[in-house]
């Protein structure tokens, strides 16, 4: 999902007091559009934000969510996407798997647990949402939940031994950032719990506000990434449209703070000025940013690394230059696409074609 769009719509619906249902995929088998942990919000009149399928199930989900909203009770639904009855239901999804979804009303006025999830997504700390899907004990009911981060429990509707057992089972998912459904055994029965990893969208820093940075910022923002653009030339911001950036900063390259860089998952160096790029890279060498992209030919990269000496050696394994996947890109827009795709691959832990991670 695009986190920024989800949060904006949630804020709008919350301000107007709309009745909302949180739909969460909790189990899949075979080929499905979404996997466990994928979520969407649905209003009581059928509007929604997010997708659990390619748009094929959402209409049916909206009808079922309206009933859940009216009753105030959670419900589960299963879709057999490969069954012979697909056409009878008017789905025709073209997949070949099974998807099980939990529909959970969000009580007004606090809209928990999604209000707590939204707060996490706007910060920098990962968390995990543990929601009881099915309960075989009187100690806890379906729909009860706990939201935890590394600092402990941020919000919960559970208590006693049940709370402790679910929170303990959530910790591995907090460490790994993975979402899955698991059975948690309590003294008088078992509960099925969906653990959803809540990972804030990455922060990306763009060093250079030239016109070729505009499509990069636009594409990154469309993915929900939080983009900051920095340049030492104020006039550059007047020429380009950086309205989708979260922040635009004007300041000397020498003032780039190595400590502040720790909040960024990726940095793109594209000032088109050799001395300025060298200054930026020197600061980045002292950081732990996993992806540092550099615009320009390979010989420019090698020159800059040589100029940096020991700092260049520390940076080399994280420096992707020339930045971007080899997709035959020509022009600012397609080059931006290749760079955004490469960053996405690195952050997702996927090997970029023809370029093993850690070996730019």
Residues with Cβ within 8 Å of residue 218, at least 6 apart in sequence: 244, 336
pLDDT digits (tens, 9 = 90+) for 60-89: 899 999 999 999 999 999 988 765 444 434
pLDDT tens for 173-183 read 999 989 999 99
Cβ–Cβ under 8 Å, residues 101 and 26: yes
**pLDDT for the residue 188:** 87
CA-to-CA distance for 23 and 59, rounded, in angstroms? 13
Answer yes or no: is pLDDT of 50 > 80. Answer: yes
Cα dihedral 289→341→205→7 (10° resolution):
-110
Nearest to 195 by CA among 165, 219, 238: 165
User: CA separation (Å) from 121 to 98, 213, 312?
Assistant: 29, 25, 34
Question: Quick one: average pLDDT of 148-156?
Answer: 92
What separation, in Å, do the N-terminal and C-terminal C-alpha atoms of the chain show? Answer: 29
Give the per-residue pLDDT at 249: 94
Domain formed by 203-348, architecture: 3-Layer(aba) Sandwich (3.40)
Q: Each residue of 269-308: pLDDT tens digit?
A: 999 999 999 999 999 999 999 999 999 899 999 999 999 9
pLDDT over 70 at 132, yes or no: yes
Pure H helices in the chain: 3-15, 58-71, 114-121, 160-176, 213-222, 234-239, 274-285, 298-308, 310-315, 332-348
Mention every residue, 6+ apart, whose C-beta is less than 8 A from residue 298.
321, 322
226-237, pLDDT tens digit by residue?
A: 999 999 999 999
The pLDDT value recorded for residue 166 is 93
pLDDT greater than 50 at residue 35: yes
pLDDT at 338: 96
Sign, CA dihedral 5-6-8-9, equals positive
pLDDT of residue 358: 42
Q: Please provide residue 120's backbone torsions phi and psi, each rounded to the nearest 5 degrees.
A: -65, -40
Q: Which two tokens stand for residue 41?
A: 């919000």
- List of long-range contacts for 294-302, beta carbons under 8 Å, 24+ apart: 294/269, 294/270, 294/319, 294/320, 294/321, 294/322, 294/323, 295/208, 295/212, 295/268, 295/269, 295/270, 295/321, 295/322, 295/323, 296/321, 296/322, 297/322, 298/322, 300/274
Give per-residue burial for 257-279: e unless 16+ CB within 10 Å, then b. eeeebeebbbbbbbbebeebbbb
Q: How many residues would you count in the chain?
A: 360
HEC string of 315-342 equals HHHHEECCCCCCCCCCCHHHHHHHHHHH
Q: Which pLDDT does position 80 carry in this prediction?
A: 82
pLDDT tops 80 at residue 93? no
- CATH 3.40.50.720 residue window(s) in the chain: 203-348
Task: Select the more confidently predicted residue: 291 or 257.
Answer: 291
Helices (H) and strands (E) in the chain, counts: 10, 16
Q: What is the pLDDT of residue 91?
A: 46
Q: What is the per-residue pLDDT for 98?
A: 86
- Which residues, in sequence order, are CB contacts of 160 under 8 Å at separation 6+? 139
pLDDT: is 357 or 313 the higher one? 313
SS3 43: strand
What percent of the chain clears pLDDT 70, i.e. is strictly above it? 92
pLDDT of residue 59: 85
Place of tokens 């959970």: 104
What confidence tens digit (pLDDT) does each residue in 188-216 have?
899 999 999 999 999 999 999 999 999 99
For the chain, the average pLDDT equals 89
Contacts of 306 by beta carbon, 8 Å cutoff, 6+ apart: 312
Task: Look up residue 40 and give its two tokens.
Answer: 């969407």
């Amino acid at each position: 999902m695009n986190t920024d769009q989800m949060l904006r719509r949630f804020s709008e619906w919350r301000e107007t007091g709309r009745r909302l249902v949180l739909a969460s995929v909790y189990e899949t088998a075979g080929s499905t559009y979404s996997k466990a942990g994928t979520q969407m919000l649905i209003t009581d009149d059928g509007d929604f934000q997010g997708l659990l399928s390619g748009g094929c199930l959402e209409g049916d989900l909206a009808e079922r969510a309206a009933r859940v909203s009216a009753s105030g009770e959670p419900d589960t639904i299963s879709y057999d996407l490969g069954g012979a009855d697909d056409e009878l239901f008017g789905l025709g999804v073209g997949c070949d798997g099974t998807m099980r979804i939990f529909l959970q009303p969000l009580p007004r006025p606090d809209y928990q647990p999604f209000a707590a999830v939204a707060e996490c997504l706007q910060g920098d700390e990962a968390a995990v949402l543990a929601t009881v899907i099915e309960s075989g004990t009187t100690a806890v009911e379906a729909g009860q939940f706990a939201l935890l981060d590394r600092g402990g429990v941020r919000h919960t509707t559970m208590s006693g031994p049940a709370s402790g057992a679910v929170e303990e089972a959530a910790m591995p998912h907090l460490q790994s950032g993975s979402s899955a459904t698991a059975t948690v055994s309590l003294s008088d029965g078992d509960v099925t719990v969906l653990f959803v990893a809540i990972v804030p969208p990455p922060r990306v820093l763009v060093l250079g506000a030239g016109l070729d940075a505009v499509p990069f910022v636009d594409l990154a923002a469309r993915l929900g990434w939080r983009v900051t653009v920095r340049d030492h030339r104020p006039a550059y911001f007047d020429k380009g449209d950086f309205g989708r950036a979260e922040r635009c900063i004007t300041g000397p390259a020498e003032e780039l703070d190595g400590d502040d860089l720790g909040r960024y998952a990726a940095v793109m160096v594209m000032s088109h000025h050799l001395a300025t790029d060298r200054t930026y890279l020197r600061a980045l060498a002292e950081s732990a940013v996993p992806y540092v992209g550099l615009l320009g030919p390979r010989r420019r990269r090698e020159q800059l690394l040589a100029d940096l000496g020991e700092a260049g050696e520390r940076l080399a394994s994280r420096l992707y230059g020339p930045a971007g996947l080899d997709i035959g890109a020509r022009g600012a827009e397609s080059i931006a696409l290749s760079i955004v795709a490469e960053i996405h691959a690195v952050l997702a832990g996927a090997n970029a074609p023809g370029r093993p991670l850690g070996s730019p």
